Structure 1
Amino acid sequence: MIFTTGSLLLAAQLVAASALPPLGYERKLLKEALASRDVSGISCSDGPAPKASAPKTNVWAPITPNDNRAVWDYLYDPATGLNLTHPDNATASDNYVFWIDTIHSNKSAVLPYIDGDGPLPPKYARVVIFEGGKAEPNSQEYMVGPLPVSNTTTIQPYDYPFNGGSGGSVPFNARYVDSVKTALTEPLMAELMTNVSDITQALFNASYLGSSNENTTLTSTAGTPVSFDGTQQFRNIMFRLPGVASYLTPIDFFLLINCPGTDPSQFSLKGFVTGSQFYETEEALRTAFEAGELAQEFEHDTESGWPIVDYKPELGSRPYDDQFAPTSIELGGKRYAVDAKERYVEYMGWSWYWSESRLYGVTFYDIKFKGERILYELSMQEAMAQYAGNQPKAANTVYHDTYYSLGTDIATLIEGFDVPLGSSCFNISYNELNGTTINQDAMCIFETDSGYPLSRHRYGGGNTSYPFTSLGVVKGSALTTRTIATVGNYDYMFDVSMHVDASIEITVRASGYLQSSFYYPDQGRFGPRIQQATQGSLHDHIINYKADFDVLGTSNSLQVSELVTVNVTQPWFPELGSFPQMEMNTSMMSTEQQWNWAPNNNAMYVVLNQNETNAWGEPRGYRLVPGRSDIHLTILDSPWSLKNSEFAKSHLAVTKQHDTEPYSNSWQNINLPSKPQHDFSKFFNDESIEQEDLVVWFNLGMHHYTRSEDIPVTLFTEAASSIVFAPQNFFDRAQDGDLKNRRWIVVDQSTEEGALEYEDYGVALPQCMVAPTEPVLEVSPTVNYEFEAEL
């Protein structure tokens, strides 16, 4: 046994925390430990993570900056016949490249490479070209490769991932509304709003005279969708008072226009909305104004700084708040290793690769524990929000954030606040035209205490004079990969945590500014009043994920164990006759389907391999454990999300893996609710899923019941959702017995005072104390890794 006074302090604290009254020897041990504190020699600083060596080249890595530039030059070569204009000089009637990214590598090509001696799969670029110069203008996706560019490189339509019938083609009216398209509608907006500027000036003391007019005192915003099926295009425009938090200062005035095609002369006014009334013409609006029907009761406070995320002394002060809050530090150095070049991590039995893309942010591949694969892929697929309200912007708004290239909005994390001090942080890059943009320190990896022990038990006690005879406790910890994407008004925090017990936890949190509405006293059913003239807009957040399970191979099944109540008779209870008992009905899900978590969590879902059993003959698998706020979309038949958001309409779904079904959604689907480019519901065609390669699609999110505490921004504390993948008979026993970060304490009952025999397994309690006049914590700066790439 090993004894240290530092360790005895911990032991004494454990005893003192017992429910039994403290004994004399506990106080004695505590006093002695405090008087003679040992220094273990463990450093409290944490330098760079050790270097790992990835077993294979990262086949999922994004294309390099050099490849991006080479693809750009290849596309703009006149020999391709694409007749491209540089985006900076393009009009809506031109053909031009919108963006270049990386093609999702086909799993069928990857597995022979990562699991054997197969060749490294070829790399392809994903290219979006807006083709306004065609007789029938559209947006078309292409695949360019193999890379690097050579005489074998070709360009061909990227059609196979999309099942809507038009492949990678999207009608011009449903394509992404970029600056070129926006410029087409600006003259009509300016003309219509200038014509009624006397009305807006009188009502709101502000007017819109055009985005470039120096006398304009309003900002405009128009959400999505802008079309139903691509045969039309409209914009429902909200106006707001300018400022850093204009999302919170909307005015009660909306302009609705029709704007299909590339010819602005065909654009037209649909109407104005104010006071919850619709006016089809300027004349109708003016008549109501002159009749005194448009008076505004509430005015925004734009002077006091209430929307700014800064210190608010008017709220008072809190004792001790001038001290730095508790933080996590990786005592003695980092316990994980990184191969930054290959984007590969090893941690406490775990290993995985990561990649990044402009649409989906950071994705994870080949996730293994102790050399056994659990997941082939774990990736965010879509971040969706749908609003409600009795005005055009709220009622119309559905967001798909891949449409806005969510991955490009993953930006620098603040050490000590966004992530713990000393985190290992990495740059995230994405392609922009013929160059590459690097967001510094945008993905961070850090290990933290779980905040609770992984396992513990106090043995004995109760019938003896000692509070316990022995006590075992294992420290809990996890390695988290974190990114935060600020997409317009919202900050989404994405965490994937690898726990030391072989569980994986996925968590999403939301902060940032509400997309709010003007306050209408009679519309509290859509949200409360949260400022002088601001109403919180009720909405759903749905974040869709893909989990491609490979539990010990690609032959998996989904087991369902339902809790049911049955009436039983047992001969040893004859006086009860028949009485209810709980049982578990276990079966295998037979075909692809979407489904919801069982009420009261009365069912367990396990992805398992029926051909692989543990020592007890049980199939080895991983359980899907609902966490916090696992929801699906509230409205299942809204015209704004009718068929383009099928992925969001159930808690869970399972499909057989196909290379032609890599995504649950298309990034341009948002503007095609009636005729989607990609329809997730078509994945479900009664294919068998017993001992097949399975993909589980799951939704995290929250019903955002807005509140005054959303001012100035929504708090991460409440706006959170999570799920856990936990081993279910995957092992023969819990994965805590091989962890040395534990304490085993035995009471020597042969002595009068019950001396403690204490084992720390060579992991001493670190002593991180310094003189009171010195800083309490000394940590190294954020560790930054730059990928080896020529820019």
Structure 2
Amino acid sequence: MLSSIVFCLALSSIVQSSAVPPLNYGRRALRNLLGKRDFNTSSCLSEAAPTTSAPKANVWAQINPEDNLAVWNLLHDPASGLNLTHPDNATLTDNYVFWIDTLHTNKSSVLPYIDGDAAPPSKYARAIIFQGGKSSPDSQEYMIGPLPVSTQTSISRLDYIYNGGSGGSVPYNARYFDSKRSAATEPLISQTMQNISDITTALFGGVFYGRSDERSTLTYTSGDPQSFDGSQCFRSIMFRFPGTASYLTPLDFFLLIDCTGTDASHYYVKGFVTKERFFPTEGDLRAAFEAGELEVEFPQTRDQEWAMVNYKPELGFRDLEERFAPSTLEVGGKRYRLDKEQQYVEYMGWSFYMSYSRTLGLMFYDIKFKGERILYELSMQEAAAQYGGNQPKAANTVYHDTYYQLGTTLGTLVEGFDCPWGSTFWNVSYGSYNKTTVNEDAICIFEADMNFPLSRHRAGGSMPYGFSNLGTVKGAQLTVRSIATVGNYDYMFDYSFHIDGSLEVIVRASGYLQSSFYYPDQGKWGPRIYQATQGSLHDHVVTFKGDFDIVGSSNSLQISELKAVNVTQPWFPELGSFEQMEMEIYNMEQEAQLNYAPNNQAMYTVINPNATNAWGSPRGYRIVPGRSDIHLSTLNSPWSAKNSEFSKSHLAVSVQHDTEPLANSVQNINLPLKPQQDFSKFFDGESVDGEDIVVWFNLGMHHFTRSEDIPVTLYTEAYSSIVFAPQNFFDRAQDGDLLNRRWIEVDSETSELTYETYGVQFPTCAVEFTEPVEDIGGRVEF
């Protein structure tokens, strides 16, 4: 052996408990259950990363709790003229604040500051106010600033970032279906179901008298969209057995209601669906029931233990599984630096700022490698899902998860399982009315071994070693991770910064399927996965924004297509004309949505046409599709007609405009025919050759459901990725300056080895898991 490394992992006193605290207790409480390290005895798991100072203030950062409270107070000041009621006391016909968030800062205002000597741009908040008190009730978005609140602060309509024709206004019937609106429909649902309780008892052994009625043994859910254009509102309600895994115990019973307007006395039942049949009235349903036409062939289970994510001894025992699984450890100490106050990170030539919003979650800005900006912005824009089936809930469901404020669902990460031991954990916080809610340890940052060398070569030679020299470079990456649990799904977002200058974005999905009731003839929409449960076929499409600035903001998308051509070569006259491949290289001319070439026979590179490397090639970054880069399967569905245009292509390239910061609107889901934000309008024929361009790209998966989705979908299979890699950006590969390598030479005469470590030795350290001790880790609030 050339060298060795010693680790001591003594899992000495794991604290065990059957009780798990609520998620908002944070990782600290979770680790008290799992076993916590004693920092005094471990250098391997030292929690504190070295510090640095950001070159400029983080102008993209979320507004702080003080500004959130000040904005809340300003909105509720009678002098503002908004006539607001506190949400806790509001009704459908009141005006009240839905939420307050941070307004996207215009790029044109930021660049003079981060690249020059200009003053930092002003900060603004955005607020959605439900205006039920108007003669034509709606939801209106406002911008409030500059912040902090002063005599210079004003409140104005936030219209300029939306292109649907009504600015920040959304019709009442299309606005977010909050608890007020849900409560308004409850009497109709309860009374209707009470009227047919004898039918539901006979069919399913359950009844529904209301969510708060103790006699109810059923629960329900409804999907999106709930309107087409805002002129009407409807709910397609599916009943199911209650419990933690209610997503997996659907019943074959649907109630369709019309709930248009603010007057609940006008709401009415549109009909019932069961046995794949539609019954317009209760009388029609009862007649079929009494005729014996509604008998249930496959009774749904009430037992939900099979759907829990806990140990299942009935599956058997795996040899040696009682041993603790391998773990990623930063054994040499952390190799990244943090400015926690500015949410700024430096790692192996990389630097970037982080930000957060309640709708989008984590965002990255001013991403540089070796001092040169690669991306001005990298952010998730939407996580969409569209289902298929012959039942109202499946056939009519499209989700936009920003509608559910995806950023607020970033939950506590479990150390050693969700993230490696010793990761840096940061909190996220967001305004919740006039208070601030903190989700503890919702982001983790860690460096990990890639588990393969970054580069390697063994030059030929004779025995005994079989080589004359061998070089291998250790691979590593820094990952920033968050997991958003939006209803039934746990989306894992990874942003990995590789030491060669590549940047990888990965999305994984786990959690419960939104399932359907099983029918033998519905296999084309998914297989049977339990007693009376069918896995519902659906697409997940997660849209991202990549605002590239390659050596400045004048960029182009270069396309290099591989084509098969017929050629002749004089040194092979006997072949005549034969086929070979060559590249056709051109720059994209106009804004457009486009798909990857079949067989991946095209390379897409964001270049600066006016900047070349030492060899005369335009400097750029290549877009490398990874696993499962998809778009929506249905391009003309009425449920996603014009409100989901961002999900309908692999890539899209547009010119950057301050008026187009977001691909979607957070209330767009209920406007498929008349969207507040129509992404397709971004592409209006502008030139993208040598301009400040934005690349919108999609990750995701066609979810071909399977029995292995029980109890939850597995991250190994539900996985999608993309890589941005240097393409002639440098003059050579960026691995030669890495010390973590081994260079081995063989003396041709003596066969002796010389072994160069470049001064980087294997560390020796001990890691001991002991009884809980005080948490000394620093925390950052987003």
Interval of TM-score (by shorter of Structure 1 and Structure 2): over 0.9
Residue 469 of structure 1 aligns to a residue in which SS? strand
1:67–1:486 CA distance, 2 compared to 1 (3 A): same
Amino acid paired to 1:526: W
Q: Return the offset for 1:42.
A: 11
Looking at structure 2, the residues matched to 319 and 224 of structure 1 have their Cα atoms a distance apart, in angstroms, of 46
Confirm or deny: 8 A CA contact 2:233 2:259 kept in the other structure. yes
* Aligned equivalents of 1:777, 1:163: Cα separation in 2: 57
Partner amino acid, structure 1, of 2:366: D
Counterpart of 1:32?
none
Match status 1:414 vs 2:407: no
1:638 aligned partner: 637
Question: Amino acid of the residue matched to residue 411 of structure 2?
Answer: A
CA deviation after TM superposition for structure 1 residue 6, in Å? 3.4
Contact 1:46 1:779 (C-alpha < 8 Å) held by counterparts: no
2:149 corresponds in structure 1 to 149
**Deviation string, structure 1 residues 320-366 (Cα, Å, up to 9, x no partner):** 11111001000121000000100000000000000000000010000
Please give the alpha-carbon distance, in whole angstroms, between the structure 2 residues aligned to 1:619 and 1:265: 66
Per the TM alignment, residue 212 of structure 1 is displaced from its structure 2 partner at its CA by: 1.2
Instruction: Indicate conservation of the 8 Å contact 1:508/1:721, yes or no.
Output: yes
Equivalent in the alignment of 2:552: 553
What amino acid maps onto 1:398 in structure 2? Answer: V
Query: Do the aligned partners of 2:428 and 2:781 also contact (CA within 8 Å) in 1?
Result: no
Instruction: Give the corresponding residue for 1:159.
Output: 159
Residue 779 (structure 2) aligned to one of 758, 767, 786:
786
Note the alpha carbon deviations across 1:40-75, whole angstroms, 9 max, x for none. x99534331011100000000000100000001001
Displacement of 1:750 in angstroms is: 1.4
Equivalent residue number for residue 599 of structure 2 = 600
What code does the residue aligned with 1:222 have? S
Runs (4+) of structure 1 exceeding 6 A deviation are 776-783
SS in structure 2 at match of 1:666: coil
Deviations 1:544-599, CA, capped at 9 Å, x for gaps:
00000000100001100000111111111011111111100000000100000111
Residue number in structure 1 paired with 2:740: 741
Alignment partners' CA distance in 1, 2:508 and 2:45:
29
Report whether the alignment pairs 1:355 with 2:352: no
For residues 337 and 771 of structure 2, the distance between their equivalents in structure 1, rounded to whole angstroms, comes to 22
Aligned with residue 763 of structure 1, among 730, 737, 760? 760
Distance 2:463 2:483 in 1: 53
Query: What is the correspondence of 1:315-464 to structure 2 with a 5 Å cutoff?
Result: 315-461=315-461
Partner of 1:16: none
- In the alignment, the residues of structure 2 paired with residue 435 and residue 513 of structure 1 have an alpha-carbon distance, to the nearest angstrom, of 31
**Structure 2 residue matching 1:635: 3-state secondary structure:** coil
Q: CA deviation at 1:4?
A: 6.5
1:563 maps onto 2:554 in alignment:
no
Amino acid at match of 2:779: E
Amino acid at match of 1:674: L
CA distance in 1, matches of 2:189, 2:625: 47
- What is the SS of the residue equivalent to 2:183? helix
Question: What are the equivalent positions in structure 2 for 1:224-623 lying under 5 Å apart?
Answer: 224-303=224-303, 305-461=305-461, 466-623=465-622
**Is the CA contact 1:490–1:514 (under 8 Å) kept in the aligned structure 2?**
yes
Distance 2:364 2:236 in 1: 38
Provide the residue aligned with 1:29 in structure 2: none
Structure 1 counterpart of 2:103? 103
Q: What's 2:700 paired with?
A: 701
Deviation at 1:464, TM superposition (A): 5.7
Relative to structure 1, is the Cα distance of residues 7 and 156 closer, same or farther in structure 2, using a 3 angstrom cutoff? Answer: closer
- Counterpart Cα distance in 2 of 1:97 and 1:533: 42
Structure 1 residue 315, shift from structure 2 partner: 0.4
8 Å contact kept, 2:243–2:304: no
What is the CA distance between 1:480 and its match in structure 2? 0.2
Does the 8 A contact of 1:557 with 1:690 survive in 2? yes
Question: Does the Cα contact within 8 Å between 1:375 and 1:549 map onto a contact in 2?
Answer: yes
For residues 320 and 301 of structure 2, what CA distance do their matches in structure 1 show?
A: 32
Deviation at 1:622, TM superposition (A): 0.1
Name the aligned partner's letter for residue 731 of structure 2. Answer: D
> SS at 1:286's partner residue?
helix
Give the fraction of aligned pairs with identical amino acids, expressed as a percent.
67
Distance in 2, Cα, partners of 1:258 & 1:623? 50
Letter in 2 for 1:240: R
The 2-side partners of 1:637 and 1:316 are apart by 47
User: Quick one: distance in 1 between partners of 2:446 and 2:770?
Assistant: 17
Partner of 2:21: none
Matches within 5 A, 1:679-690: 679-690=678-689
- Asked if structure 1 preserves the Cα contact closer than 8 Å seen for 2:427 and 2:781, the reply is no
Take 1:761 and 1:228, find their aligned partners in 2: how far apart are those partners?
A: 65
Instruction: Tell whether the 8 Å contact from 1:44 to 1:778 is kept in structure 2 after alignment.
Output: no
Measured in 2, the distance between the counterparts of 1:345 and 1:5 equals 33
RMSD: 1.8
Q: For residues 269 and 778 of structure 1, what CA distance do their matches in structure 2 show?
A: 59
Q: Could you list the per-position Cα deviations for residues 207-261 of structure 1 after superposition, in whole angstroms to 9, with x for gaps in the alignment?
A: 1111111101111101110000000100000001011000000100000000100
Q: Which moved more, 1:602-611 or 1:777-786?
A: 777-786
Amino acid at match of 1:749: S
Q: Contact 2:5–2:764 at 8 Å: present in 1 too?
A: no
Q: Which residues in structure 2 correspond to 1:613-692 (within 5 Å)?
A: 613-692=612-691
Deviation at residue 266 of structure 1 after TM alignment: 1.1
Q: Sort the Cα spacing of 1:120 and 1:597 in 2 relative to 1 into closer, same or farther, 3 A.
A: same
Distance (whole Å) between structure 2 residues aligned to residue 746 and residue 687 of structure 1? 57
Task: Report the equivalent of 2:214.
Answer: 214
Assess, with a 3 A threshold, how the Cα gap between structure 1 residues 788 and 629 changes in structure 2: closer, same or farther: closer
Residues 788/595 of structure 1: CA separation in 2 closer, same or farther (3 Å cut) = closer
Structure 1 unaligned runs (5+)? 9-40
Shift of 1:201: 0.6
Aligned residues: 748
TM-score between the two structures when normalised by the length of structure 1? 0.93
Counterparts in 2 of 1:615 and 1:780: CA distance versus 1, 3 Å? farther
Q: Using a 3 Å threshold, how does the CA distance of structure 1 residues 4 and 288 change in structure 2: closer, same or farther?
A: closer
Amino acid paired to 1:785:
G
Compute the displacement of 1:460 (Å): 1.3
Residues 385 and 541, structure 2, Cα contact 8 Å, conserved in 1: yes
SS at match of 2:565: strand
* Other-structure match for 1:6: 4
Separation of aligned partners in 2, 1:722 and 1:777: 37
CA deviation digits over 1:365-414, x for unaligned, max 9? 00000100000000000000000010100001000000000000001100
How many Å separate the matches in 2 of 1:697 and 1:621? 17
Quick one: structure 1 residues 640 and 42, their matched pair in 2 at CA, closer, same or farther if it must change by over 3 Å? closer
* Partner Cα distance (2:45, 2:267) in 1: 64
Secondary structure, counterpart of 1:430 in structure 2: strand
